[in-house]
Amino acid sequence: MPLYNVTLKKDAPLEELEKAKSTAQEKGGVIKHEYSLIKGFTVEYPEGHVESLESTDHIHVEQDGEVKTQ
């Protein structure tokens, strides 16, 4: 399953993050890490189901990937 980083957008209420975690788990996602410095988490999510998280205006979702420096 692909890994996604889910973060709360600026000025969004904290309860929106809890809703996103619940939605992710209900749709078959497995939360792998919860961040303490930023409001967010990393979730393994089945292909094609991430749209349920992306549909809210309070949450930013991006697929995890390798970062390279030049």
Q: What is the mean pLDDT of the chain?
A: 88
Reported pTM: 0.83
Judged on CB neighbours under 10 Å (0-12, 13-18, 19+), 5 is: middle
pLDDT in the model for residue 36: 87
Domains with residue ranges and CATH for the chain: 3-61 (3.30.70)
* Residues 17, 59: Cα–Cα separation, whole Å: 7
Structure tokens at 63: 């697929």
pLDDT in the model for residue 2: 87
Tell me phi and psi for residue 26, to 5 degrees. Answer: -65, -30
Element (H, E) at 27: none
pLDDT tens for 40-53 read: 999 998 877 778 77
